Structure 1
Amino acid sequence: MILHGYWRSTAAYRVRIALALKGLRYEQVNHDLRTGAQRDAAYLTLNPQGLVPALALDEQVFMQSGAIIELLDELHPVPPLLPATPAGRATARAMAAVIGADIHPVNNLRIVNALREDFGADERQVQAWIARWIGEGFAALEPQIVGPFALGDAPGLVDCFLVPQVYHAERFGVDLSAFPRLVAAAEHARALAACQAAHPAAQPDADPA
């Protein structure tokens, strides 16, 4: 099993958390998004979208973090990352999608670079853009957090998405004081050894501290 990623990619971070929660061993091949390494021809043959993460498994390559995490959950169902009931699974998927479909896509590196390069946004405007979409998404999630983890007593799919998004918010100085339940759930998950092992700073391609 080979995970193609980048240390600071929140999408790759999600998959690392899932792999660690499952106790699965894997190799890492890292692509520096700042240099455009994800658009190299060799990588595009594996992942035509030219994004990370991608998971190579059994001579197949799987794209998109949510799909990868659910694949891992089906192949290795213990411990489960989704609730036992259909309603619970739908709730977990919806909460994860708030981050994966509504917050992350408008705040990732290629969008932020486009704001700077194509529209002349300065860093204050970029910060405001990031804070706006994180704030709107987190406001929707806050009342749905049931704790101590994002969706109950055990870490799962939502935590795989939430922990990296809180990391991203903190990295850009977003004020999270309006979301105490969400922050508490993220802190609870971040205390796990699995989340610590998946942290960007713990990755082999991380910038020196």
Structure 2
Amino acid sequence: MTLTLHGYWRSSAAYRVRLALALKGLHHDSVAHDLRIGAQRADDYRALQPQGLVPVLEGPDGPLIQSPAILEWLEERFPDPPLLPFDTAGRAVVRAMAALVACDIHPINNLRVLTMLRQDMGADEAAIRRWIGHWIAEGFAALEMLIVRHGRGFAYGDTPTLADCHILPQVYNAERFAVDLTPYPALVASAEKLRHAVPQAAPDRQADAG
């Protein structure tokens, strides 16, 4: 089975998928689309992803879009090792943690939003960093409480889950923009554990990094 991941090395959404692929031991080919020059808006790419966003995972079921849906597909198609708990309550908690990143932090800090803030709203870089820091801090404060409650090394329990696949890329973004992470020791520790477990998924290890 051939899997091809369309992404960009700094895309946190693509990073989520790389983490899940690595955790499941799945080989994949990579196709890079440089978001800085708008390569994701090319007509041939929009034929795969009508929004012109990364990532896309091409496989036996055709092109799959939106990283949460891709992660769920990977979990269903390749259930071993599992990235969701076996009990329904645990699965709900993990999905809530993932959604906290995918729905509440990442969308308002992604490249499209930051570009509009800069170009249309006149925000300078200091304002951009305050914006990013504010929304990351709000989300991470809630995640820290959940990880303290449910984590035992990873965000939920003692093995990686889909929550970790969302949290580590958001930590990477926070580090890029110098967000203070000292208030979130449990979150940072769980992210570091995953980072060391699958270093091949890291942004700076990708062929298009630079």
- TM (normalized to structure 1)? 0.97
Structure-2 residue corresponding to 1:122: 124
Alpha-carbon distance between aligned partners in 2 of 1:31 and 1:92, rounded to the nearest angstrom:
30
On the 8 A contact 1:20/1:197 being kept in 2, the answer is yes
Residue 167 of structure 1: SS of its match in structure 2? Answer: helix
Once the two structures are superposed, residues 158-195 of structure 1 have per-residue CA deviations (whole angstroms, 9 ceiling, x without a partner) of: 11001100000000000011111111111111110x2x
Alpha-carbon distance between aligned partners in 2 of 1:123 and 1:203, rounded to the nearest angstrom:
27
Count of residue pairs brought into register by the alignment: 205
Structure-1 residue corresponding to 2:46: 44
The correspondence of residues 3-22 of structure 1 with structure 2, limited to 5 A, is 3-22=5-24
Alpha-carbon distance between aligned partners in 2 of 1:183 and 1:29, rounded to the nearest angstrom:
30
State the one-letter code of the partner of 2:75.
D
Of 116, 141, 144, 2:143 maps to 141
State the one-letter code of the partner of 1:189.
L
Q: CA RMSD in A?
A: 0.7
Once the two structures are superposed, residues 71-113 of structure 1 have per-residue CA deviations (whole angstroms, 9 ceiling, x without a partner) of: 0111111000000011111110000000000000000011101
State the one-letter code of the partner of 1:184.
A
State the one-letter code of the partner of 1:66.
P
The correspondence of residues 50-129 of structure 1 with structure 2, limited to 5 A, is 50-58=52-60, 60-129=62-131
State the one-letter code of the partner of 2:87.
T
State the one-letter code of the partner of 2:191.
A
Structure-1 residue corresponding to 2:161: 156
Identity of aligned residues (%): 58
Residue 55 of structure 1: SS of its match in structure 2? Answer: strand
Alpha-carbon distance between aligned partners in 1 of 2:72 and 2:81, rounded to the nearest angstrom:
12
State the one-letter code of the partner of 2:94.
A
Alpha-carbon distance between aligned partners in 1 of 2:135 and 2:101, rounded to the nearest angstrom:
10
State the one-letter code of the partner of 1:74.
E
Q: Shift in Å at residue 59 of structure 1?
A: 5.4
Structure-2 residue corresponding to 1:25: 27
Unpaired segments ≥5 residues, structure 2: none
Matched, 1:173 2:175: no
Unpaired segments ≥5 residues, structure 1: none
Residue 182 of structure 2: SS of its match in structure 1? Answer: coil
Alpha-carbon distance between aligned partners in 1 of 2:131 and 2:111, rounded to the nearest angstrom:
13
- TM (normalized to structure 2)? 0.96
On the 8 A contact 1:2/1:26 being kept in 2, the answer is yes
Runs of 4+ in 1 over 4 A off after TM superposition: none
Q: Shift in Å at residue 147 of structure 1?
A: 2.7
